[in-house]
Structure 1
Amino acid sequence: MAQRGWSIGFFGLFGRSPALREFDKALRAVDLHPKLVPEAVKLTALSLIDDHARGKDPTPQAYAGAAEILSYCALGSDHFASANGEALAACVERRIEEALGAGVNLDAQLVLLALHAKIIQPSVVESFQLESGMD
């Protein structure tokens, strides 16, 4: 699969790619400021989203879903729930539980990405009994 050209900008000469801008917008929508997520993590997340789109352009819902998982991991359950509501927090928790049981899917890969990038809250690691195998 040909990878899309994502641009993170270069000395202000080139703008951010539409995909990165869309993902940053999705992160903001779930109370995670994009500057708190390393660019490498965002680029990896975009690559995973692209892989799961199977040759089509990812939908805004795909960016939103990925942002929800990363935001939950980075903010922790309490902060995520207070910013986004208990219903969305419960939904994301169910998605994480299902992902951990299912094995390789986008949600599981995003949780693993957050774990390896060390942007995950210790409470999330403890709650879901996560380990990277690299510890």
Structure 2
Amino acid sequence: MVRRGTALGFFGIFGRSQDLRRLDAALRLAGLHPAQVPEGVKLAAVGLMAGDGAEEPPPAAYPPVGLLMAFLALGPDGFARENDEAQLAAATQRLEAALEAGEGRDAQIVLLMLHAGLAHPALVRDYALRAEEE
């Protein structure tokens, strides 16, 4: 997880941390309202972006993760309504590459969304997505 204090806020007194605001903005930009993603999933995604021991992901890390999360949640048709063809092609390619590699940040994001029940049914069906227990 991210070492510095990722914060959700406290009774509206303290604001959300910068990393969660950046992820919310990236999700919104990709066409997925941030309220559709539980806070725990966002916290986990930020932790995956930061990697082991990192303080905070760099600002450039958020838009690609937001796009992949939006693609996974909205499915190809919903994502295409919110984004252009190039972004749809890129998201599809990233999903396919993540599934082929079976590891890496994109594969971890796919697994996170699948475990959270946020993977679109069409993607689960078309790519035979499943989480195997070890």
| TM-score category (smaller protein) | over 0.9
| 1:9 aligned partner | 9
Paired residues, number: 133
Distance 1:24 1:14 in 2: 17
Gaps of 5+ in 2: none
The amino acid of 2:86's aligned partner reads A
Q: TM-score, normalised by structure 1?
A: 0.92
2:82 aligned with 1:86, yes or no? no
| 1:49 aligned partner | 49
Q: Deviation of residue 27 (structure 1)?
A: 0.5
What is the 5 A alignment of 1:107-126? 107-126=106-125
Q: Deviation of residue 4 (structure 1)?
A: 2.0
The amino acid of 2:87's aligned partner reads L
What is the 5 A alignment of 1:12-91? 12-51=12-51, 55=54, 57-91=56-90
Q: TM-score, normalised by structure 2?
A: 0.92
| Identical-pair percentage | 45
Distance 1:2 1:47 in 2: 5
From the superposition, tell whether residues 46 and 2 of structure 1 become closer, same or farther in structure 2 (CA, over 3 Å).
closer
The amino acid of 2:28's aligned partner reads R
Q: Deviation of residue 2 (structure 1)?
A: 6.4
Distance 2:74 2:62 in 1: 18
| 1:98 aligned partner | 97
From the superposition, tell whether residues 16 and 132 of structure 1 become closer, same or farther in structure 2 (CA, over 3 Å).
same
CA RMSD of aligned residues (A): 1.7
Deviations 1:46-73 (A, max 9, x none): 0000007x73642222111111111001
Distance 2:23 2:122 in 1: 25
